[in-house]
Structure 1
């Protein structure tokens, strides 16, 4: 091997040194390095699993939030509908009360007008009776007592009033 420039004892020494170095490096460096890489791989796997789990939980939470939001919208719509119905009912009740009050006021006004009309007619009858008595006294030149004249005139007026009605 000398022709090739290879020194056999040097080669054996280098091979033995390489094997010793390889054994030492594998014990000291390779195994801890592999263990560290395994731990890192486990951490990465655990992190990915945690991220996936968090993603699933976020999706579930988002779904729950969407359901709650939909329920809230539905409830809000129901409240708005109820408020409108209540407002409509209140408006109708108030309109009915106002109509009742107006009808009552109209009835009172009509009865007041009728009462005033009757009082005015009665006043006119009294005045007319007084004028008729005075005219009758002048015509007849005889005087009945005032009560007699009033009774006579009221009887005539009542007869005329019943004929006109």
Structure 2
């Protein structure tokens, strides 16, 4: 039953009117209070409750996006780690092949019995080791730079802020340290 129908019934002198008169209901003041309360409720809804709900929804979306970015970063890092292991395995295989070739040359030279050929084989072994070490160092340097750049880019994307040169340097150093 709404307030207007109650007012009409009470003014007509019905049962509601008797009850209202018994309790001393002042209809004009009651209607004013109901209107004031309705205005306050509407203002609270539009000015307080609705903006808070919008803010909570935006934060929920940001958190969901952050989690999705984290999953994507983890997948990328796993792919990079797999690629790094493949590169390392290839470098080790090349080094082993070079060393085995050098040993083969050394065996042939040793069988021939000449000191000069033996010295040449040892030189080849040293060169193979040096070449493998240089290749390994070069590949690790490239890998560290690429992973460092990826970490800096993904960190900037996840946090949503522009990283300073010092932050970028620190992240790249920390990533390089963890890769060793």
TM-score, scaled relative to structure 2: 0.46
Pick 1 or 2: higher relative contact order, CA cutoff 8 A, min separation 6: 2
Work out which of the two has the higher radius of gyration on C-alpha atoms and give 1 or 2.
1
TM-score, scaled relative to structure 1: 0.49
